[in-house]
A and B are shown apart, each in its own frame.
Chain A
Amino acid sequence: MAIVHDDAGRRRFLSQAVMGFGMLFGIGTLGLRFVQFLIPSGKEKPLETVLIGAASKIPMGEAVSMDLGGQKLLVLKTDDGVVAFSRRCTDLGCLVSWNKEREQFICPCHQGTFDKTGRNISGPPPRPLDRFMITKRGEQLYVSIQSA
């Protein structure tokens, strides 16, 4: 096969290709701007320390449900002390509830269960429940959360 030196054809092809890419790029970035318009502006939420009450007020073996700045949590008191878990199931974000008899957190959506240390023991949840740090100042308990 002989090589055809069709310079005019090649030049036209090249210029069309460059134009085409330029156009695509332009329209693409424009489209991206519009998508950005739809993307919510995510601000880093500050860590806050919120008072939850006196340790003695929380009944043993019971989980107290609270809603602090959009974060839903369960504060559980066991023999090992007081812990605060996020109610948000680590599977797909339903809310877990505490089952006192079974001493487990149960998620009604796909039957995920967690034990009292928050470990995922059955069902689809891939990891333990999120925990919030609890600090004790005197009798009062404070929990550190990222408020919405």
Chain B
Amino acid sequence: MATQTAHAEQDVKPKSLIDYIQKDLPEHLDWWPYTLGAIPMTLFGILVGTGLLLTFYYVPSTERAYESVDQITHEIYLGWFVRGLHKTSVDLMILFLLFHVIRVFLTRAYQAPGELKWVSGSIVLFVTFAMGFTGYSLVFDNVSYWGMTVVTNMIGTLPVIGMPLLHLLRGGEDVSGVTLLRLYDLHTKLLPVLLGGLVIGHVVIVRLMGFVEVKESRHFHQFYPEHTLKMGMIAVGLLVVIVDLVMIFPPVLGPPANPQEVASDVSPPWYFSAPFMWITLLPGPLALWTLIGASGLFVVYPFLDRALVERGVPMELVNRVVATVAVAAMVALMYLDTQM
């Protein structure tokens, strides 16, 4: 009997997933920083599209990888443009993910009951970094070859799981063709599927959990057409900016991988340059441990926040200080990297 009444109620108020996603938004979402999450999502779409195109020409073998990237960049019609779109979109995706994280952090939008939003989002961030690493390894120029060596070795220094994980990633003792193939598979199969699922999961969680309450916000901002229209406009604007950026900064290619000689400058792409400088400045294990510790702290931050609030810590202020220090440290490390 009970199930029947439940059914009857559902007939009156059907609530499908679509309803949840189309639910109106609180008024403060009218403000543009609250669309920062939609930008990486749009970029992810561009990345999937251009990435698919690139796989038609890319060959994941040590003999042909560099050559095929060279071909894409210099011979194939609009190849440079497709590769440029792919490259620029990664840069922007990570940049806007960071902006999004900072916005959420400063407004403390991760507060109960939204911890899951933060945790799922931080996994999205980490997987995106993994995509960045595997992607730039595929180019197989000398910088990426040695980057691959250094990063896999770094994983190998982890206790217990380090060495097995290193062998799993490299498919042997050393960086070889098997390694390239594994990173290729991760980059084009496992990780994108994982990332796609995580992004959908993250958005669904955000919609189901709802947005954080802002005190003065009483009115509602329509999801459709207002918010969707705004996001659409942002997407179009973004596309224009990306196309411009690709035109101004077409993709380049360094000298090919040379296992006999380390590249003179092994600086990774900008989004890895801060941790790169960090491991250069600090003695090995300490650098790695602080990085792992910081990432762990990052994931559990909402719970930390709650515990600290109970002890009467003014988290609003703390977050502002933490964000400023973190951004300043990152910029300083990146600057140092360009100086070396």
From A40, A95, A111, contact of B171 by CB (8 A): A40
Does residue A94 face the partner (Cβ distance < 8 Å to B)?
yes
Residues 171-198 (chain B) with a chain A CB within 8 angstroms: 171-174, 178
Q: Indicate whether A109 sits within 8 Å of B154 (C-beta atoms), given known contacts A39-B168, A94-B146, A148-B174.
A: no
Does residue B153 face the partner (Cβ distance < 8 Å to A)?
yes
From B164, B167, B266, B282, contact of A109 by CB (8 A): B266
- B168 to A124, Cβ gap below 8 A? no
User: What 0/1 pattern do residues 93 to 122 of A give for CB contact below 8 A with B?
Assistant: 111010000000001111100000000000
Q: From residue B191, how far is it (CB to closest CB) to chain A in Å? A: 15
A residues in contact with B157, CB < 8 Å: 92
Residues 237-281 (chain B) with a chain A CB within 8 angstroms: 260-264, 266, 279-280
- A94 to B266, Cβ gap below 8 A? yes
Does residue A136 face the partner (Cβ distance < 8 Å to B)?
no
Does residue B233 face the partner (Cβ distance < 8 Å to A)?
no
Q: How many A-B residue pairs have CB under 8 A?
A: 65
In the bound complex, what is the Cα–Cα distance between A95 and B172 (angstroms)?
19
Does residue B62 face the partner (Cβ distance < 8 Å to A)?
no
- A70 to B283, Cβ gap below 8 A? no
Does residue A42 face the partner (Cβ distance < 8 Å to B)?
yes
- B284 to A126, Cβ gap below 8 A? yes
Q: Indicate whether A124 sits within 8 Å of B266 (C-beta atoms), given known contacts A39-B168, A109-B150.
A: no
Count, chain B residues at interface, CB 8 A = 29
- A92 to B262, Cβ gap below 8 A? no
From B150, B167, B170, contact of A92 by CB (8 A): B150
Does residue B92 face the partner (Cβ distance < 8 Å to A)?
no
A residues in contact with B154, CB < 8 Å: 92
User: What 0/1 pattern do residues 61 to 74 of A give for CB contact below 8 A with B?
Assistant: 00000010010100
The residue on B at minimum CB distance from A65 is B260
Does residue A47 face the partner (Cβ distance < 8 Å to B)?
no
From A92, A94, A126, contact of B283 by CB (8 A): A126
The residue on B at minimum CB distance from A110 is B280
From B146, B178, B340, contact of A40 by CB (8 A): B178
Does residue A35 face the partner (Cβ distance < 8 Å to B)?
yes
- B174 to A109, Cβ gap below 8 A? no
Does residue B33 face the partner (Cβ distance < 8 Å to A)?
no
- B149 to A94, Cβ gap below 8 A? yes
Does residue A4 face the partner (Cβ distance < 8 Å to B)?
no
- B178 to A39, Cβ gap below 8 A? no
Q: Indicate whether A124 sits within 8 Å of B284 (C-beta atoms), given known contacts A40-B172, A92-B150.
A: yes
From B167, B261, B263, B284, contact of A91 by CB (8 A): B284
In the bound complex, what is the Cα–Cα distance between A108 and B147 (angstroms)?
12
- CB pairs A–B below 8 angstroms (10 shown): A72-B260, A92-B153, A92-B154, A93-B149, A93-B150, A94-B146, A94-B266, A124-B280, A126-B284, A148-B173
Q: A39-B167, A91-B153, A125-B284 are in contact. List 11 more A-B contacts (CB 8 A).
A: A38-B168, A70-B174, A92-B154, A92-B284, A94-B266, A108-B262, A108-B264, A109-B146, A109-B150, A109-B262, A124-B284
